[in-house]
Amino acid sequence: MVRALFLDRDGVVNVDYGYVGSVADVTFCDGIFELVKTAYDNDIKIFIITNQSGIGRGFYSEKDFLEVMGYILGIFQDFGCPVVDYRWCPHLPSELCACRKPQPSMVLELAKIYNLNLVKSALIGDSVPDIQCGIRAGIRYNFLLSRDAQGKRKSNEPVFPQKYDGIKTLMKEKRWKEFLLDCILEGNR
């Protein structure tokens, strides 16, 4: 079975300015390419899962979203760490759909399609629902970023046992190294 790294988009891959709906609004988070390249070089497949209620709110269209994703995927490809696939939820939180994080359906759908070993996989998010999604899906390594990409501490988050002050800090942490070592020692099976 294949190992995976699931990334939330806004706040992990790119700076979350609140409803990023055009390529002009995309600024990549510091350290994201180094992190993803490290994972990719260790035979870990990269996926993006993202709640995009800006579509449901009418702030931007699904076409706009797909254009932004095409741009992001192209940049990752240029850095030598291609994203295998992605999923998104366009619904409002009030719609209580099955695809919106913290529900695990985006992860489970990708796991089924790509034969992913979720117990040997990781998820990086910037919100508690991201982490709840990972836990509900059975992902062993879940990492919560507690600062936004501009280095400001998020004040509206409940206390969570393991938070990291950004991608570069996470890459120095024992659990991230444990995840990579686990992948290297056991191979990607």
Nearest to 145 by CA among 135, 133, 157, 136: 157
CA–CA dist 173, 142 (Å, integer): 13
Instruction: Give the pLDDT confidence score for residue 151 in this predicted structure.
Output: 46
Domains of the chain and any CATH numbers: 4-186 (3.40.50.1000)
CA–CA dist 155, 71 (Å, integer): 31
Mean pLDDT calculated for residue range 110-136: 94
Active site residue 130: no
pLDDT band at 169 (very low <50, low <70, confident <90, very high): confident
Active site residue 10: yes
Q: In the chain, what is the straight-line distance between the N-terminal and C-terminal CA atoms, in Å?
A: 5
Residue bearing the bigger pLDDT, 96 or 150: 96
Please say whether the beta carbons of 182 and 48 come within 8 A: no
Instruction: Give the pLDDT confidence score for residue 164 in this predicted structure.
Output: 61
Nearest to 21 by CA among 58, 46, 47, 76: 58
Mean pLDDT calculated for residue range 129-137: 95
Structure tokens at 118: 């979720």
pTM: 0.87
Residue range 34-90, pLDDT digits in tens:
999 989 998 899 999 999 999 999 999 999 999 999 999 999 999 999 999 999 999
CA–CA dist 39, 81 (Å, integer): 8
